[in-house]
Each structure stands twice: as structure tokens, then as C-alpha cells.
Amino acid sequence: SLSATALAKEKIYVGTNAEFPPFEYLEKGEITGFDIELMNEMGKVLDAEVKVQDMAFDGLLPALQMKKVDVVIAGMTATEERKKTVAFTQPYYTASQVIIVKEGDNSIKSFDDLKGKRVGVMLGFTGDTVVSEIEGVKVERFNAAYAGIMALKADKVDAVVLDSEPAKNYVKQNAGLKIAEAVAAQEEYAIALRKNDKELLEKIEKALAEVKANGTYDKLLEKYFN
Ligand code: ARG
């Protein structure tokens, strides 16, 4: 007969930062969102139990390296810098950085127009890097996107630079804000794993390919982005 261990499902320990709607956020105290549902679907494909842990965004890759988690899914852009320390799967979403301003503000039409402005970014997000590279910007760093949005509403900053989907989400939920018509480079979100964790990387890649092929991924896109 089968032993208890043979019956116990494999567990996949996943780290995220649930302050990034619609990719990951808290709903009645539960972590949910596109990334979380995608990960759960991948867990089904692998017949594994997905255990999600919420932590600060800039703590995610250290937690991965210290083996507190084995997988990170957090709307994380697969940057060249991050690729030096972790492995990324194939991309699962294309995003870009956008500029959020007050509705009546027509002074910002490009990222260069941020010169001389007080611009809110989130600590360790790619938006931080993008804005920090523009000369003459007064960069204000926040711990979460919501805090940046609140600062903009309170006129403590002139603009907030954030990923496109969360930006749309916050603009929809906060009257008096809009997305400026500036064009930014595209970024690819991917799932991060330890470089030497080849076996799990292969499994996750396979599961991602499977949910993309079997229509599950498309259903989630439809649910969260339409
Ligand atoms: N895409 C951006 C980055 O990789 C922001 C991701 C923030 N994600 C989050 N769950 N807080 O830096």
C-alpha cells in the first residue's frame, strides 16, 4: 500500500508582494490576483500544493536566495540586473512604466518632462530605476504603490511612475487622477527561481507552457484585464 509520504502532495513555496493589483493583492485577508491564480493553476498541472507567502518586494529575491521560498511571482520584470542573480522563466506578461498625474495636469507628456518634478516611485521597482536615470528629478521613494498614490493625491509629489496595470487600477479607484500620455519601454514579467534549482525551473516552465496551451492562462487574462 501507499505510505503517507507517497500520498502527501509536493509543496511549492512561493513568495509575492501582495500590494500590486491586479497581479497580487489582499481580498478579505486572502492573497489573490492574476499571478496567484496562475501559480495555483500551475500547481494543479504539477499536482503540487502552492503555498504563498506575502513579503516586502525588495525582500523577495533575498528570500529566494536564502531558500525561504523556492519561487517568486510578483509582477516582477525580468531585468538584466536581476538575471545576474536569479533565473527567470519565459515571460508571462508584457507591461510598461506609466506616469500618473492629477487630472488637471497637462505639463507631462514624456518621461523627460519629469525633470524638476517631485516624482514618486516604489523602492526597488523598475520604475525607480527608470526615474532615477532621468537627470534633475526629485525622486521620492515609497514602500508600496498605494502610499505613492496617496502622496500624489495630497500633492506631496507631482507624479507617480508605476507599472501600467496597477496604475490603471489605482486611477480607476481614485477620482482626480489620470495616466499621462508618455510612452515607455516595454517590460516582461517572469517567474523567478534560484539559478541552481534546475529541476524545479524545468517543472515550472513546463507547467507555464501547459496553462498557456490549455486555455487556462487566456481565461485568467480575460478575468483580470478585460
Ligand atoms: N515590475 C516591477 C518590477 O519588477 C514592479 C513589480 C512590483 N510587484 C509587486 N508585487 N509589488 O520591479
Q: What is the pTM of this model?
A: 0.94
pLDDT over 70, % of the chain: 97
pLDDT tens profile 184-225 = 889 999 999 999 999 999 999 999 999 999 999 999 999 999
Q: For residue 173, which phi and psi values (nearest 5 degrees)? A: -90, -5
Long-range Cβ pairs for the range 30-35 (8 Å, 24+): 33/224, 34/93, 34/220, 34/221, 34/223, 34/224, 34/225, 35/73, 35/74, 35/75
- Report whether residue 75 contacts ligand 1, using a CB cutoff of 6 Å: yes
Kind of pairing between the strands at 138-142 and 118-122: parallel
- Report whether residue 126 contacts ligand 1, using a CB cutoff of 6 Å: yes
- Report whether residue 74 contacts ligand 1, using a CB cutoff of 6 Å: yes
The pLDDT of residue 226 is above 90 = no
Please state the rounded mean pLDDT for residues 142-158: 96
The pLDDT of residue 102 is above 80 = yes
Query: What pLDDT, on the 0 to 100 scale, is given for residue 4?
Result: 61
- Report whether residue 20 contacts ligand 1, using a CB cutoff of 6 Å: yes
- Report whether residue 18 contacts ligand 1, using a CB cutoff of 6 Å: no
Report residue 151's pLDDT band, with 50, 70 and 90 as the boundaries: very high
pLDDT tens profile 118-130 = 999 999 999 999 9
Q: Which of the listed residues 61, 93, 163, 165 should we mutate to test ligand 1's pocket, taking the one with most ligand atoms within 8 A of CB?
A: 163
Q: Which of the listed residues 122, 160, 162, 191 should we mutate to test ligand 1's pocket, taking the one with most ligand atoms within 8 A of CB?
A: 122
- Report whether residue 97 contacts ligand 1, using a CB cutoff of 6 Å: no
- The β-bridge partners of 49 are 11
Taking CA 80 as the corner, what is the angle to CA 76 and CA 82, rounded to the nearest 5 degrees? 50
The pLDDT of residue 161 is above 70 = yes
Query: What pLDDT, on the 0 to 100 scale, is given for residue 6?
Result: 64
The pLDDT of residue 2 is above 80 = no
Please state the rounded mean pLDDT for residues 154-161: 98
Report residue 1's pLDDT band, with 50, 70 and 90 as the boundaries: low
3-state secondary structure of 160: strand
Ligand 1 midpoint to CA 18 (Å) = 10
Ligand 1 midpoint to CA 105 (Å) = 26
Ligand 1 midpoint to CA 46 (Å) = 26
User: How many Å apart are CA 201 and CA 70, to the nearest integer?
Assistant: 10
Query: What pLDDT, on the 0 to 100 scale, is given for residue 184?
Result: 84
DSSP state of 3: -
Query: What pLDDT, on the 0 to 100 scale, is given for residue 47?
Result: 97
pLDDT tens profile 174-191 = 999 999 988 888 999 999
pLDDT tens profile 4-18 = 666 789 999 999 999
Ligand 1 midpoint to CA 4 (Å) = 39
